[in-house]
Amino acid sequence: MWFKNLAVYRLPAGLKLNIPALEEKLATLTMQPCGNMDRETRGWISPRGDDRLLHVLNGQVLIALGMEAKLLPSSVVNQFAEDKAAEIEAQQGFKVGRKQMRELKDQVTDELLPRAFVRRAQTWAWIDPVNGWFVVDVATPAKAEALLEALSKSVDDLPVKNLHTELSPATAMTDWLLSGEAPAGFSIDRDLELRAADEGKATVRYVRHELEGEEVAAQIAAHLAAGKQATRLGMTWNDRISFVLGEQMEVKRLTFLDILKEQTEAGESADEQFDLDFALMSGEVAKLLADLVAALGGEKAAAI
């Protein structure tokens, strides 16, 4: 159980979770298979494939949102609609109009949906009431928003808020590059994106590229002097976790290094191994997030 990407949110300090009540609320929006005319469905599923919608370990909670979506590309709908339009044109002797073409596409969609293939996916979220974190394992904001939307529909007393720090990630990452020093506990890795602030948004990327060489360092310094800001930066925390920090506080391409995974003893069963991995992952990521927030100047005080 190792998260790969982190969309990070905040929970109120000292939150007391009522586990049975939370599971009961999630049960009001469980995953249902796509019906014949459904384009997609979403709902809560068991993280471990049993009858529980919550997986709880040492006060840490894991939930999962299941999704089913019909695969019906617009190119397929257009092709079938064009074939039908050609038949109608041959019968009526004149070209199908725009309104009739839209109606044909709607008709084709209704005919093809029941036969379309279904793609299944799931999104994990980790609730840490001890340290006040709510973390979704997603690479795009849209997927995080889909899970939060489902959460708001089923749970009315779990106030998840955006995380705001005193320094924006872009400002902090730019400062670290200018000073040539990473914050305490962190080191700079081999991924970097620099972007201009003007309308052109000129962008320079270094991917898996050594940044400390004299030539590359000079290039980066010139870009920063020209007004570009760092919008993505590869980093390693305490030689334990590598990641790429983004300008919107997204943490991507999380890699748990060997020195960390060596601490995980082999479980006697798949369930035991899952729990060992989840315990280690949640414990380490909670510490990483705390240090990262500190490196960004701490959390911004809420407006009164």
Residue 183 DSSP class: P
Could you tell me if 298 and 278 are in contact, meaning their C-beta atoms sit under 8 angstroms apart? no
Could you tell me if 211 and 192 are in contact, meaning their C-beta atoms sit under 8 angstroms apart? yes
Could you tell me if 34 and 118 are in contact, meaning their C-beta atoms sit under 8 angstroms apart? yes
Phi, psi values for residue 48, rounded to 5°: -115, 10
pLDDT value of residue 242: 96
- β strands within 105-185, DSSP E: 117-128, 133-136, 161-162
Confidence of residue 304 (pLDDT cuts 50, 70, 90): very low
Q: Regarding predicted confidence, which is higher, 191 or 213?
A: 191
69: exposed, middle or buried (C-beta count within 10 Å: 0-12, 13-18, 19+)? middle
Distance CA 62, CA 127 (A): 6
pLDDT tens per residue, range 187-196: 999 999 999 9
**Tokens linked to 232:** 């993505």
pLDDT tens per residue, range 248-302: 999 999 999 877 767 666 767 888 889 999 999 999 999 999 999 999 999 987 6
Cα radius of gyration (the chain): 24
Phi, psi values for residue 9, rounded to 5°: -130, 170
For residue 186, give the H/E element and its range.
strand 186-195
Collapsing DSSP to helix, strand or coil, 231 comes out as strand
Could you tell me if 173 and 292 are in contact, meaning their C-beta atoms sit under 8 angstroms apart? no
